[in-house]
A and B are shown apart, each in its own frame.
Chain A
Amino acid sequence: MLVSFSYRPRHSFIERFDPRARWIMSLALLFSIVLFWDIRILSFFFVLSILQVFLARLTWQETRRAWLFILVLSTMMILVNTIITGGGTIGGVISGGKPLLQFQLKIPVTGWIIHYVLTRERVWFALAQFLRIISIGSLFLVIPFTMDPRKYGVTFRGIGLPDKLAFTMDLAFRFIPTLARDFQITLDAQRARGYEVEKIEGNLFTRIRRMAPLFVPVTMNAILAGEDITNAMDLRCFGLKKRTWVESLKYQEIDYLMIGISILILVGSLLLRFVFHTGDFWFPM
């Protein structure tokens, strides 16, 4: 089994920035977006997020799966929430409102009557919700495609995570190719014994239970290898001193600019929301 990350160098504008600056920007924008329900303010964040996608030089072909995931998820949530259950959320949709569509539905056998009303307010709220989810989704969608997996450990260390935590992340990335190879060897070995993973039949419980011949050997082999790795690291006095990293990161002027703008946006959003009390649900009258 070939396990590969979605990252490849694209020499895009976004990749010029330090990964730490990009994480700070993404988190600042996330916390800013979730403050608002005003579609005008959300449109600003939507434009910023989409701009990032374009600046990352991502193609539809490589991001199709992620986009479909975000679109299906958001559409389902919006359909169920705003259109069906009525959107009584923390966003505070005004109850009542101007009806756009209404009908009565009589359910056969039970005789229940459903009186459905879709208001203008609900539709605008659905749009605000859509902008919000897409903005957040596209903000983080860019990261796996444009951030070098080798730099995750040092990036999170640079953001302020403890050495051991950052190293755990780094180590996890390093284990992936080995474990993927072990999985493939196990799968081939089990197939040679007549195990047919594609033809697992039975109910849900049986299907899950029958994953055990794949999961158990791979997991137990990894644990046995882990004991040796722990011993090797202990022998090299892991964790006794501050760690140094092979990859090094250095902020450039452009990174300070990005961090500054991100902080400005976050502070501005907090002021707008909590000092000027702006940003509640809004729709054109």
Chain B
Amino acid sequence: MKKSLWTFGTREVVFAAIGAALYGVLSYATNLLQIPGAGNVSLRPAVAIPMFFGVAFGPIVGFLSGAIGNILSDLLSGYGFWPWWDLGNGLMALVPGLIYLSIKDFRSWGDLLKAEGMVVLGVALGMGVASLSEIWVSGIDLATAISLNFVPAFITNVINGLILVPILMVAYSAIVARSGR
């Protein structure tokens, strides 16, 4: 069957739900385990999950995994709803999903590097949109939005994505080989 970038069928519904639930549970679990970060940078490695789901299942799955996953993570932790950050998390995973159709081999250096590049772009766009929304919502200036919101979120998310997305891609290649999808 020919793949399409913007299909939203049963498969996409299921994997978007799984991606979102994984993102929510793993964020909550790593919070609970109190994994030490460096200085005041907290570790939230689960952000790599929606990015990987974007690469593996397409941009819609990536977007929904990121957006709904962030809602779930905030719900589990009791932080309330922050819709513009949910949107940012969705965009962060949608961008890597744009290369979904061009991935031929999840183990090849070329495809891994492509995914890495899209992770950086995705985090820049997603966290950029969420941070700039704070200007509109909280009335902060651009300098504050960049220094206080964008830079910490961008650095931690990009590091998490760059390290964990390729690891997940290589692991997923075994499933692809087995299932023939």
On whether A171 and B35 interact (CB within 8 A), knowing A5-B76, A218-B26, A222-B22, the answer reads no
Interface residue ranges of A88-103 to B (CB < 8 Å) = 88-91
Interface size on A, residues (CB 8 A): 84
> B80 to A143, Cβ gap below 8 A?
yes
On whether A215 and B9 interact (CB within 8 A), knowing A132-B138, A208-B160, the answer reads no
Q: How far apart are B147's CB and chain A's nearest CB, in angstroms?
A: 7
Please, which residues of chain A bring their CB within 8 A of the CB of B171?
216, 219-220
Of B18, B25, B168, B172, which is within 8 A of A180 by CB? B25
Please, which residues of chain A bring their CB within 8 A of the CB of B37?
204, 207
> A81 to B35, Cβ gap below 8 A?
no
The yes or no answer to A137 lying at the interface (CB within 8 A) is yes
> A90 to B135, Cβ gap below 8 A?
yes
> B172 to A77, Cβ gap below 8 A?
no
State the CA gap A1–B9 with chains docked (Å): 32
State the CA gap A129–B34 with chains docked (Å): 32
Of A136, A187, A212, A218, which is within 8 A of B164 by CB? A212
> B68 to A169, Cβ gap below 8 A?
yes
Please, which residues of chain A bring their CB within 8 A of the CB of B28?
3
The yes or no answer to B139 lying at the interface (CB within 8 A) is yes
> A220 to B35, Cβ gap below 8 A?
no
Please, which residues of chain A bring their CB within 8 A of the CB of B141?
81, 85-89
Interface residue ranges of B6-64 to A (CB < 8 Å) = 8-11, 13-18, 20-22, 24-26, 28-30, 32-38, 41, 43, 45-46, 48-49, 52, 56, 64
> B81 to A143, Cβ gap below 8 A?
yes
On whether A76 and B9 interact (CB within 8 A), knowing A143-B80, A209-B163, the answer reads no
Interface residue ranges of A182-218 to B (CB < 8 Å) = 183, 187, 197-198, 200, 203-205, 207-209, 211-212, 215-216, 218
Please, which residues of chain B bring their CB within 8 A of the CB of A168?
13, 16-17, 20, 64, 68
**Which one of A133, A164, A200 has the highest number of Cβ atoms from chain B below 10 Å of its Cβ?**
A164
The yes or no answer to B179 lying at the interface (CB within 8 A) is yes
Please, which residues of chain A bring their CB within 8 A of the CB of B160?
208
Interface residues of chain B, those whose CB is within 8 Å of chain A, are 8-11, 13-18, 20-22, 24-26, 28-30, 32-38, 41, 43, 45-46, 48-49, 52, 56, 64, 68-69, 72, 74-83, 134-141, 143-144, 147-148, 159-160, 163-164, 167-168, 171-172, 174-175, 179, 181
Q: List 19 A-B contacts (CB under 8 A).
A: A70-B80, A89-B140, A90-B135, A133-B138, A144-B74, A164-B8, A169-B20, A169-B68, A183-B25, A198-B33, A203-B38, A207-B36, A208-B160, A209-B164, A209-B167, A211-B45, A215-B49, A233-B13, A238-B10
Interface residues of chain A, those whose CB is within 8 Å of chain B, are 1, 3-6, 26, 30, 34, 37, 62-63, 65-66, 69-70, 74, 76-77, 80-81, 85-91, 128-129, 132-133, 136-137, 140-145, 149, 164-165, 167-176, 179-180, 183, 187, 197-198, 200, 203-205, 207-209, 211-212, 215-216, 218-220, 222-227, 229-230, 233-234, 238-239
